[in-house]
Amino acid sequence: MKGYRATFRKKNGDLRTMNFIRLPDLPQGFLNEQIKGTGSERKFDKTAELVWDIDRVGFRVINWETMQQEPEVFEAKL
């Protein structure tokens, strides 16, 4: 599946490089196993996106507006 590596600026001003998979690229079965919720949906700014962080093995929010360069695309495995 398609993975991405990108560096962006966090809310606290630090730079972070993250390897991630966008939710539409994840297998549906994997998503169903990972999603535990209260039934309410979180809302994000137009520039923020919920993604799966490959290295930290969890959901994270990435802000496309604070990207330092175009994300690098690679073949990712879960």
pLDDT at 11: 87
pLDDT tens for each residue of 59-72: 999 989 999 999 99
Which among 60, 52, 59, 47 has a CA at the least distance from the CA of 77? 52
pLDDT tens for each residue of 4-49: 999 999 889 999 999 999 999 999 888 878 877 666 667 778 889 9
The residue type at 47? T
Which letter, b or e, does each residue of 16-33 get, where b requires 16 or more Cβ atoms within 10 Å of its Cβ?
Answer: eebbbbbeeebeeeeeee
Q: Tell if the pTM clears 0.95, that is, is over it.
A: no
